[in-house]
């Protein structure tokens, strides 16, 4: 019995101490959201600053492929699940019945969970594309241009109408 205890204490215990963090980490990974899960995004489609009650939303990846669809029907909020292998940036394009142009918003990565789609986010996307594409630099410049445009069109110039952190989600100005 002493030799078994000695073997456990001297040989197996140090080995268990070394591999315990690995075993604990493995157990956690099955409970956390990782790269293999979908990115769920929720938000509101704003038509002339008021929530749209009817809209079709398509998520279009950087290759131009529609990767997800959602609808706004009666309730102002939408929910869309982007696949785990989505090629970012993804453009959310909302078509409102009776409106000639679709509204757009850019989603720059899988950590984004809330994104409204409005005329302001459309300005950001269109300006970034005109600057050469949906890169972080172009989205940052476009967000600044959208703020300036709101100021020049009679807006207060404040950020009270915006949600989001422009340093993390440039298409998040809404």
Residue from 76, 116, 98, 49 nearest 124 by CA: 116
CA–CA gap between residue 146 and residue 44 (Å, rounded)? 19
Q: What is the 3-state secondary structure (H, E, C) of 3-16?
A: HHHHHHHHHHHHHH
User: Which pLDDT does position 18 carry in this prediction?
Assistant: 35
Residue 31 CB partners (closer than 8 Å, separation 6+): none
Torsion 74-76-82-88 (CA) sign: positive
What average pLDDT values come out for the chain (174 residues) when binned by 10 residues? 44 36 35 63 90 94 96 91 95 92 94 93 94 92 80 48 48 46
Q: How far apart are the first and last CA of the chain?
A: 70
pLDDT of residue 152: 53
**What are the Cα distances from residue 89, in Å, to 67, 100, 112?**
12, 24, 11
């Amino acid at each position: 019995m002493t030799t078994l205890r000695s073997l456990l204490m001297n040989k197996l215990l140090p080995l268990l101490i070394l591999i315990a963090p690995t075993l604990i980490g493995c157990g956690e990974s099955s409970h956390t959201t990782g790269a293999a899960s979908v990115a769920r995004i929720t938000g509101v489609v704003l038509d002339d600053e008021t929530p749209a009650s009817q809209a079709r939303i398509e998520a279009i990846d950087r290759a131009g492929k529609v990767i997800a669809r959602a609808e706004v029907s009666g309730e102002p909020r939408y929910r869309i699940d982007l696949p785990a292998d989505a090629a970012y940036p993804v453009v959310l394009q909302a078509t409102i019945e009776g409106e000639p142009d679709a509204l757009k918003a850019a989603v720059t990565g899988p950590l984004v969970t809330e994104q409204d789609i409005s005329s302001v986010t459309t300005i950001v996307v269109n300006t970034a594309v005109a600057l050469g594409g949906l890169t972080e630099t172009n989205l940052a410049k476009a967000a600044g241009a959208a703020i300036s445009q709101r100021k020049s069109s009679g807006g207060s110039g404040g950020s009270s109408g915006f949600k989001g952190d422009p340093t993390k989600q440039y298409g998040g100005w809404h």
